[in-house]
Chains A and B, each alone.
Chain A
Amino acid sequence: MTLTETAVTKTIDARGMACPGPLLALIGAIRQGHVGDTFAVLSSDAGSKTDIPAWCAKAKHEIVEVVDEGGFVRFVVRKAH
């Protein structure tokens, strides 16, 4: 287990969800969370690789980590405001 994994507030398993499902799941979690919360999103959707970073840049939330786990990607995002 990596350091960030222990600090994750909530893990959203969006594997199998079609684009833009994983992003929508992340947006929902961020909206309901508190500032400083970190969310891990597991996604097998290829669109997430571009969409989640683009959304985080636009919405000004912090990408803590992007890990290709083989078959899916784990994005860790911190709610910044």
Chain B
Amino acid sequence: MNDGDSTLSLILFSGTDDRLGAAAILATGAAAMGRPVNVFLQYWALDAFRKARVTADHGAATEGGPAGAALVHESQTGERHWSELLRQAKDIGDVKIHACALSMELFGIAKDDLDPLVDDVEGVAAFMSDAATGPIAFI
């Protein structure tokens, strides 16, 4: 396996729509190019995957200011929403989304509270095991 085919591992920490949107784009691109994608949801990103609020307004990073937040909000509609993009990524490729066991406990979240996009609950060592063969990005 050469580097172009190695697993892309994404650790999603931030729960704002801009960062989730950027992560979804990266995951989709990697999946389209035939690379396995290994996603680990921690803290605020995990919170954003609660099925009751996946499509809620999660705001944007502060550097964009109110105008940036409005722009992000407008871009996250319908088919263009990060959750839809991730659904398409899973449809075209090998994309696994894991919830961090510690974050689940910290926020009192049960697997049933999460959107079906999330495959399972996983400890950090299992994630690192899957991440061993390629780069890791923290978003």
Contact = CB atoms under 8 A, between A and B. Distances in A.
Interface of A: 18-21, 23-24, 27-28, 31, 51, 54-55, 58-59
Contacts of A18: 75, 80
A24 B92 contact: yes
Q: A-side binding surface: helix, strand, loop or mixed? A: helix
26 contacts: A18-B75, A18-B80, A19-B25, A20-B25, A20-B28, A20-B29, A20-B32, A21-B79, A21-B80, A23-B32, A24-B28, A24-B32, A24-B88, A24-B92, A27-B32, A27-B92, A28-B92, A31-B92, A51-B29, A51-B32, A54-B33, A55-B32, A55-B33, A58-B33, A58-B34, A59-B34
A62 B34 CA distance: 17
